[in-house]
């Protein structure tokens, strides 16, 4: 973090000019936790701000709403940011979280192997692992600078969809989610828990948070898996993290893993 004690001071010290925008306070209205532009992010600005992050301490995000026609641009302008509700991500063990979520990965409740009538179907859906947690995927070798380059390239692609620019005082995209009080995955897990896994993915794979919606995330990935065998354990992590990817999406873990091969973008959504 930088020398600046608050968001307003950090914004005032930025080396680049920002477009018209506003400070957004947490839900109780006391402390600004986010700056958001009034219009879609201009070309190249996310890239500049991302490069400057080590000096400014401001992490750029592309922000999208639940409904693009909503004047409140939920949750960013509607008073639905609750940073005090988020636990510190450093308190959580990412592997333990993923393992515990895997036990509930049928999307409903923890599987009881003795009574579950659909155990065979679940095993087929989650093949080749079934209900046995496979452990986390091996870390990738990420060349120096590749993570940042990939994040900036993805941001330029995503901004064409009309996302607004956001700035949060945070050390990373994962930390930005808790700092601003985003609550998108509340029906599945706490924001601090989600941020702990995201921080671990950044350490192991160079994945960075680029875009955040009401209940969606878009991550950049500099070194994606090259084969299905490499992608399968990663697909298990994603399914524990966001079960709807399989259970309301591809239908099987293997089908989802196939989508990860060579993919430089990871997308998540929660109901």
Q: Please give the residue range of the domain that contains residue 210.
A: 7-93+136-269
How many domains, in total, are found in the chain? Answer: 1
For residue 47, is it within any domain?
yes
Residue 107 scores a pLDDT above 70:
no
Residue with tokens 């909503």: 70
For residue 23, is it within any domain?
yes
For residue 264, is it within any domain?
yes
Percent of the chain with pLDDT over 90: 80
pLDDT of residue 120: 75
- pLDDT tens digit sequence for 45-84: 999 999 999 999 999 999 999 988 888 999 999 989 999 8
10 Å CB burial of residue 271 (0-12, 13-18, 19+) is: exposed
Distant-in-sequence, close-in-space partners of 119: CB < 8 Å, separation ≥ 6: 111, 113, 131
For residue 224, is it within any domain?
yes
Q: What angle, rounded to 10 degrees, do the helices at 228-241 and 253-260 form? A: 110
For residue 235, is it within any domain?
yes
E-assigned strand segments in the chain = 21-25, 32-40, 58-63, 164-169, 208-212, 216-220, 265-269
Rg of the chain's alpha carbons, rounded to an integer? 19
Of residues 26, 21, 19, the one with CA closest to residue 6: 26
Least confident of 100-109, 119-128, 147-156, 175-184: 100-109
Tell me the pTM: 0.92
Residue 1 scores a pLDDT above 50:
no
Kindly tell me the sign of the dihedral angle through the C-alpha atoms of 99, 100, 105, 111: positive
For residue 106, is it within any domain?
no
pLDDT of residue 85: 85
Q: What is the mean pLDDT of the chain?
A: 91
* CA–CA dist 162, 166 (Å, integer): 13
Residue with tokens 């393992």: 99
pLDDT: which is higher, 117 or 226: 226
Residue 195 scores a pLDDT above 90:
yes
Please report which confidence band the pLDDT of residue 106 belongs to, taking 50, 70 and 90 as the band edges: low
Distant-in-sequence, close-in-space partners of 105: CB < 8 Å, separation ≥ 6: 126, 131, 239, 240, 243
For residue 113, is it within any domain?
no
For residue 124, is it within any domain?
no
pLDDT of residue 26: 84
Q: What angle, rounded to 10 degrees, do the helices at 146-158 and 45-56 form? A: 140
Helix or strand holding residue 240 (H, E): helix 228-241
Percent of the chain with pLDDT over 70: 92
């Amino acid at each position: 973090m930088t020398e600046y004690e608050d968001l307003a001071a950090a914004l005032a010290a930025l080396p680049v000019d920002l477009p018209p925008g506003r400070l957004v306070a947490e839900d109780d209205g006391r402390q600004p936790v986010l700056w958001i532009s009034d219009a879609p992010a201009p070309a190249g600005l996310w890239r500049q701000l991302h490069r400057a992050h080590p000096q400014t301490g401001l992490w750029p995000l592309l922000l999208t709403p639940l409904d693009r026609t909503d004047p409140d641009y939920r949750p960013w302008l509607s008073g639905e940011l609750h940073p005090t509700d988020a636990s510190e991500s450093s308190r959580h063990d990412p592997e333990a979280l993923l393992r515990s979520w895997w036990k509930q990965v049928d999307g409903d409740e923890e599987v009881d192997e003795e009574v579950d009538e659909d155990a065979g179907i679940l095993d087929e859906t989650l093949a080749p692992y079934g209900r046995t947690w496979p452990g986390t995927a091996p870390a990738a070798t990420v060349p120096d600078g590749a993570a940042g380059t990939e994040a900036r390239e993805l941001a330029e692609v995503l901004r064409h969809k009309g996302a607004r620019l956001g700035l949060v005082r945070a050390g990373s995209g994962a930390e930005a989610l808790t700092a601003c009080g985003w609550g998108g995955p509340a029906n599945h897990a706490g924001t601090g828990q989600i941020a702990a896994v995201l921080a671990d993915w950044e350490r192991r794979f160079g994945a960075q948070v680029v875009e955040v919606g009401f209940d969606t995330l878009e991550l950049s990935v500099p070194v994606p898996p090259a084969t299905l065998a490499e992608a399968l354990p990663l697909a298990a992590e994603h399914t524990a993290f966001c079960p709807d990817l399989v259970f309301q999406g591809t239908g099987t873990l293997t089908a989802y893993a196939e989508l990860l091969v060579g993919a430089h973008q990871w997308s998540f959504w929660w109901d």
